[in-house]
Amino acid sequence: MYRKIGIIGLGYVGLTLAAALARKGYEVHGVDSSPAVRDALNQGRVHLFEPGIAEVFAESVGRSVFVGTELPADVEVAVIAVSTPVDGRTRQPDLTSVAAAADQVAQWCGPETLVVVRSTVPVGTSRRVVLPSLVAAWGRARLVMAPERTIQGQALRELVELPQVVGGLDADSRRAGIEFFGGLATQVVPVSSLEAAELVKLSNNCHTDLIYSFGNEVALIAERHGLDPLEVIGAANLDYPRPDLSRPGYVGGGCLSKDPYLMINSAGGEPGPFLVGAARRLNEYLPVHVANRVVELLRQIRGGTVGRRLAVLGWAYKGWPPTDDMRGTPIATMMPTFRAAGLTVAGHDPMVSDEVIHRYGGEPTSVDKAFGDADAVLVINDHPDYRSIQLDTLLAGGGPKPALVYDSWRILDEATITAAGIRYAGLGYLPMPRVDQAAPAQRRAADVNG
């Protein structure tokens, strides 16, 4: 049974796997190219948020988890878990880190080492990019592709509970991969090849992106007709025996904002893929649409001006399960619109540091100040703290109030907001303001712009 494991790349994928293996009693050796990451982990400090990981590293670093610049020669398994970004302009995959990791494994280890590709890659990468380095150095290789498929916020549990898909270079590699992951997970699903395992991961994530995009499509159509998309989707789903429609929402993160482009790359050109690119374009358009809608609504409310200050609640790409991950965050594509409109953007997120909010162009604020100092409040993610906001308290009294609350996830109480004379809106949802809302909004506009 394999007991000594090496992991190259200690980002979300590698770090969570290292923690899960340590929990199971494995000896884990991690390598990362960042000196800051290595230094932090060797001091027991974890550089990203994932429930349970900090506790594992605090207990295990220097005992069963070791972080350095290269793997020991006698690791029995070497896992490649490096990032595979896409170019921001061309959307082409950058496999430089995968190739470098393969070269490192070839240098540090030997032909008896089981090499596992864990990074998400275009179909064919394990055979085309990783295998040649190993064969050139060793003459032969034991190689598997075993994609990571966890959700952030639940990774340590899902690494054990979710089926682990394993595709091998050959029968011997596949048997070795099944044995290794059988020591971690309750179920292992062998597939016939490296390429089949690569396509499993892309299919999972691109299908998710596609499902979410349809909910967003419904929301945009509902908005045009003055309908409530949640009413439409709820009625469509209720006791209907076909797949449920997804609620509208932003679709970001390190996987869903990138993997569709890896799938497109895998398709190899015309014809298709027909759906994946369209779904991604729609989901990338949604934050821009919302930013423009917020500016337009403010201009409507204020008779042509937008005010001076917008408070944005939720800067991480999602609120539940909670994360501090800013990859694919909607605020990044919204900020140019807000700057062009002359809005100063204040920001709050329970998981995101003030430093990161500054880096993305915001001024850190509190929830109280967001509702007291801003001309509008935009809720981007559905962190539980936002679901529990005490609106009665925040909006009580005769003090300043926002003219607009755009509640992307519809988690705030609409009636309380509109009773305070505030315009309420959400994704695909633009209800007409109550007649008695106009006067407070106009008075505040005069106060701000006078």
| pLDDT for the residue 340 | 97
| pLDDT for the residue 272 | 77
Does residue 59 fall inside a structural domain? yes
Q: What are the tokens at 383?
A: 């962190």
Residue 132's domain comprises 4-193
* 442/434 Cα distance (integer angstroms): 13
Together in a domain, 129 and 168: yes
Together in a domain, 57 and 124: yes
Does residue 348 fall inside a structural domain? yes
Together in a domain, 188 and 217: no
| pLDDT for the residue 422 | 97
| Domain closes at, from 193, 228, 249 | 193
Q: Which one-letter amino acid corresponds to residue 136?
A: A
Low-confidence residues of the chain, pLDDT below 50? 438-450
Number of domains in the chain: 2
pLDDT tens for each residue of 168-226:
999 999 999 999 999 999 999 999 999 999 999 999 999 999 999 999 999 999 999 99
Task: Give the pTM.
Answer: 0.92
| pLDDT for the residue 361 | 98
8 Å CB contact between 125 and 117: yes
> Can you list the positions of beta strands (E) in 86-216?
114-117, 142-145, 164-168, 188-191
Does residue 173 fall inside a structural domain? yes
Together in a domain, 233 and 366: yes
Together in a domain, 170 and 315: no
| pLDDT for the residue 13 | 97
* 46/355 Cα distance (integer angstroms): 17
| Domain closes at, from 193, 228, 245 | 193
| pLDDT for the residue 435 | 59
Together in a domain, 38 and 66: yes
| pLDDT for the residue 437 | 53
- Integer angstrom CA distances of residue 289 from 126, 215, 335, 402: 38, 15, 12, 21
Together in a domain, 216 and 119: no
- Count helices and strands (H / E) in the chain: 20, 14
Does residue 232 fall inside a structural domain? yes
- Integer angstrom CA distances of residue 71 from 74, 107, 184, 320: 8, 10, 21, 35
Strands of 404-407's sheet in order across: 363-364, 344-348, 309-313, 376-379, 404-407, 423-425
